[in-house]
Structure 1
Amino acid sequence: MTEVMLVWDNPLLFEKLFTEHGIKCQRIVSDSIGTPFTPPCKCVVIPTGFANKAYTSILPGIERNAKSFEKFVKAGGNLVVFSPAVPEYDFKWLPMELEYKQEYQVTHICKEKEHEAQCLIEDTCSEIEFDGYFTKTDGEVIFRSDEGNPLMVVKELGEGRIIATTIHEFPSGKFLKWINETAKKSKL
């Protein structure tokens, strides 16, 4: 059984990270979202750069499938979305308010409040890289930059959740296991 679907159109290093932690991961192209050929999974991950045409061409398929993402999350799936890596972006396809501004920095992160998803970063006392921040959100802000800009938000929806972050580092093994263990198998 596939546990995690990684939405991308060519091989990337991110896939190896799941394998290293014993999590079954399958890469899918965005055009297969919402089709009968996509098997159920617990978690969908959209990597950094999904909106940047220099990296990938998955954006049109993602934007076309807003209802599939909403249905997946409401049924208990976890949707993890990283930065779009473009100057500004409005996540209109997500069932939440979320807007992004690109601005690469290295900073200490500040916990807004305690949340299990903060295990994304192994050492929250060290400096981290981020490639932007959220300018608007109706999600729960769980990490901010030194300047107070939201870097990670969580939105509970139905039985699942949407986790969005601009942190530009590989997630910890603990985070990968958490997103998998806290989700229900759902059809995308």
Structure 2
Amino acid sequence: MTVLLGLALLIALGAIGRDARILPFHGTCAAACMSVIGHGAPAMAALILLPVLNGAGWIVLRTHIAWRSGDLRERRATQQAAGIALCAAIGLVLLTALAATPGLPVLICIGIVLSGLCAAALPVPLLQLIGLLCGLNGLLLLGGHTESWPLILGTALVWVGLLALGGWLMPKLAWLRLEGRHHG
């Protein structure tokens, strides 16, 4: 259990600054963690939702690749921002571990949520969206572990809403970015 949870946290930290290709792997690892730490019907719902939502996220967002857009300076700045966000996420997880002792599964779930929130501070909209979706995976894990139906259902609704919004907005943001380069 500890190794699987640690792997989930490492994947969540590694997902900072990545595009939609990380979502199926992130969701599968979170589902594997849920199979170990969760019990009851809410955990079963989270176990089913994690790979389904992350697979849908990959299908909807796979055509948008953040690293190919922009010039070399923009890509380097994004990579540096991702490195800073990674360090911030690690620091927040360590501070959470020192400040409270909620138990290892809850601490890992909180760490996944915090890493997603740190990734949401990146300057590229696609990377922000992926970070938020990965953070919501942590909330699904937490809801399954604590057997909280409201947390699972609310998180699933926000997940679907963000994915629909991202699927609708990403092509428009990419077009505006290209238009700005040609006319700017």
Query: Same fold by TM (over 0.5)?
Result: no
- TM-score scaled by structure 2? 0.29
Structure number with higher relative contact order (C-alpha < 8 Å, ≥ 6 residues apart): 2
**Structure holding more helix per residue:** 2
**Bigger Rg, structure 1 or 2:** 2
